[in-house]
Structure 1
């Protein structure tokens, strides 16, 4: 075996705000709030599924903004309108040969929404 999956990582200029956005969008919480830890604000923010079912996601601070399409992205179950209400942007609507919505978070990171 060459390796074993550990975590997902997402880069963001405002990693604190993006971590909060994803917590609201998919029901995650900051891992530090669960553990009672405090991390310096400039450190990456780990967010987790409080039910323990989803993977740990690290939201990492980076100095540059997003420029091109993500090479890797998240797929989520949900209602596109609810993501839009959280200020996600529709990149491509479901239809034709595509059975999901392509959306972008508040910093433009693409993700796919599969309706429940």
Structure 2
């Protein structure tokens, strides 16, 4: 039998902390505590060389069930559609108008957090409706 491995999802981005805090809001994740011996992440960052400061940030599922999300600064900007995206499950088990209402309510909440609405993909007889969005740096995700 294969060994199940833990994994993290890594985002390349321009502003790691800003993107991480958006995903904390979107998923109910939290910022993990700073390394032992440091009262804050800012205190820890001050010990790094200037070129590494603000270069990475992370957030975690407080229940320990979901993967760690890691955000790393890269020099290039986003230029194409993601090849991988997250589906944020807000309408699981719902159909029709009930599902649309749940998607729209979550969309409104995330718009206030800095997300962008891209398009609604309505149910087609095979798939239920989902809402395509972008985070604060343009990374696509779906409300599903």
TM-score by length of 2: 0.68
Correspondence for 1:25: 26
The answer on whether the counterparts of 2:131 and 2:143 sit within 8 Å (CA) in structure 1 is yes
Correspondence for 1:85: 112
Structure number having the greater helix percentage: 2
User: 1:108 is matched with which residue: 124, 138, 144?
Assistant: 138
Runs of 4+ in 1 over 4 A off after TM superposition: 33-37
Structure ID, larger Rg: 2
CA RMSD of aligned residues (A): 2.4
Matches within 5 A, 1:1-116: 1=2, 4-33=5-34, 38=41, 39-40=44-45, 41-78=53-90, 79-97=106-124, 99-114=129-144
Structure 1: which 5+ residue stretches go unaligned? none
Deviates more, 1:82-91 or 1:37-46: 37-46
TM-score by length of 1: 0.82
Structure 2: which 5+ residue stretches go unaligned? 46-52, 91-105
The residue matched to 1:30 in structure 2 has which SS? coil
Structure number having the greater strand percentage: 1
Q: In 2, Cα distance between the equivalents of 1:32 and 1:24?
A: 17
The residue matched to 2:17 in structure 1 has which SS? helix
